[in-house]
Amino acid sequence: GKQAIIAPSVLAADFANLQRDIEMINQSEADWFHIDIMDGVFVPNISFGMPVLEAINKHAKKTIDVHLMIVDPDRYIKTFKDLGSDILVVHYEASTHLHRTLQAIKAEGMKAGVALNPHTSVSLLEDLINDIDLVCIMSVNPGFGGQSFIENTYKKIKQLKEIIVRNGASTLIEIDGGVTNKNAKQLVEAGADVLVAGSYVFRAEDPIATIADLKKITEI
């Protein structure tokens, strides 16, 4: 059967032991690294920036999924390509010319993603779903790790899946925020392909076993 793609969020890592935590993910069954970039303007928090991503990329041996929580993301598309980003995700709410932004990301050879805040309807993507490689449905308000999961997310996943199927698109559905072993299976059953998990993985006593467990739970 199919298993979810598991993307641990490095935001929850121990930044004083970043290399150790990256090697842990390399050795685990995790599929991607999820990297949260926050500018203190689009979201009320500042995470880390280019020098840290450069350091992460030196050690990371898996796909790098960069989630930009920044205003006017077009300014940094080339920069994030150079820093090792394989997938670049911009926020719908931060983009004025989203179609153009997605083409610019793909022109740099990256997969193009769009993230939606909890208040943003998936129906707004109807007209460009065929141009989107990945939709990141935020299941918490972006800005912080460790928040609790918003239940309305299941409905959004089902609505988005319907749009993807109806348009014959191959867009992946990623869920970001509050993912644990309690909701992982139900998320995949609703149509999710990728699960981001930050605090649930890094606060665990045995993160490697926790990741293996998420892979197993999400097999459908």
Instruction: Round to whole Å and give the CA distance between 156 and 92.
Output: 15
Number of residue whose CB is nearest Zn ion: 67
- Cβ distance 136 to 116 under 8 Å? yes
Catalytic residue at 31? no
Which stretches of the chain bind Zn ion, using CB under 5 A? 36, 67, 176
Asked if 101 is part of the footprint of ligand DX5 (rule: CB under 6 A), the reply reads no
> Which CB contacts under 8 angstroms, 24+ apart, belong to 156-160?
156/116, 156/121, 156/122, 157/187, 157/190, 157/191, 157/192, 158/190, 158/191, 159/122, 159/123, 160/122, 160/125, 160/135, 160/191
Q: Using CB under 6 A as the criterion, what x/- string covers residues 140-179 for binding ligand DX5?
A: x-xxxxxx----------------------------xxxx
Asked if 191 is part of the footprint of ligand DX5 (rule: CB under 6 A), the reply reads no
Alpha helices in 43-141 (DSSP H): 50-59, 77-82, 98-107
Q: Using CB under 6 A as the criterion, what x/- string covers residues 48-77 for binding ligand DX5?
A: -------------------x----------
65 is in an annotated binding site: no
**Minimum CB separation from Zn ion for residue 165, in Å?**
25
Residues that bind ligand DX5 (CB under 6 A): 9, 11-12, 34, 36, 67, 140, 142-147, 176-179, 196-200
